[in-house]
Amino acid sequence: MKKTRGFEICKGYEDKDIKLPIRKTKNSAGYDFEAAEDTVIPSFWKSVFANIKNVFKAENVSEDYKPTLVKTGIKAYCGKDEVLILANRSSNPMKKGLILANSIGVIDSDYYGNKDNDGNIMYAFYNFFPFDTVIKKHEVIGQAYFQNFLIADNDAELNANATREGGFGSTDAK
């Protein structure tokens, strides 16, 4: 059977009881993703108040202000004209104070199997509750949707022939 699009468990997670994403109902558009491990997502406000003297200094971007990456242990394969879009779970903001740092996640087809992390899909969260939030292993953290995308007429002129060299956030790395 020819593989068109789907999910696999990443290298290093084969024996970690990782579940492949599923659609919960026959009319669901998105595949539900679970956390691969327990993860604490610190309160953004606790970080702000703990570092109040540095909050307005742009040169002091602390690790405390960066989003927390929640690993899934899952990689996705799809066609070269397709993308996997990550979305937050609709209940996360109200129940857990969690928002996606990048509003949506974009998993390009060439992220699959990359040399840095084998294509491990991660959700980047900020926690806006005044207390830390704990995500438990196997907890549904978000959804993902496969979509086609279109290419502009002058795409080749715009240097779209580069190849991915790494994993998460690597397309902008110099």
Which tens digits make up the pLDDT trace of 4-62? 999 999 999 999 999 999 999 999 999 999 999 999 999 998 887 777 766 666 655 56
35: left (phi over 0), alpha (psi -120 to 50) or beta: beta
**Residues 82-106: what's their mean pLDDT?**
96
| Selected residue with higher pLDDT from 92 and 61 | 92
Residue 164: pLDDT over 70: no
* Cβ atoms of residues 144 and 33 within 8 Å: yes
Closest CA to 72 of 20, 107, 5: 20
In Å, what is the CA distance from 92 to each residue of 87, 107, 126?
11, 21, 11
Question: What is the side-by-side order of every strand in the sheet holding 68-71?
Answer: 68-71, 122-127, 98-100
The answer to whether 169 touches 115, Cβ cutoff 8 Å, is no
Distances (CA, A) of 139 to 10, 27, 30, 34, 66: 18, 21, 16, 5, 22
State the pLDDT at residue 148.
Answer: 97
Tokens of 5: 């699009």
How many angstroms separate the CA atoms of 168 and 124, rounded? Answer: 11
Res 174 pLDDT > 50: no
Domains of the chain in sequence order:
6-167 (2.70.40.10)
- pLDDT tops 90 at residue 154: no
Task: Output the furthest CA–CA distance in the chain (Å, rounded).
Answer: 59
Question: Residue 75: which of 174, 29, 9 has the closest Cα?
Answer: 9
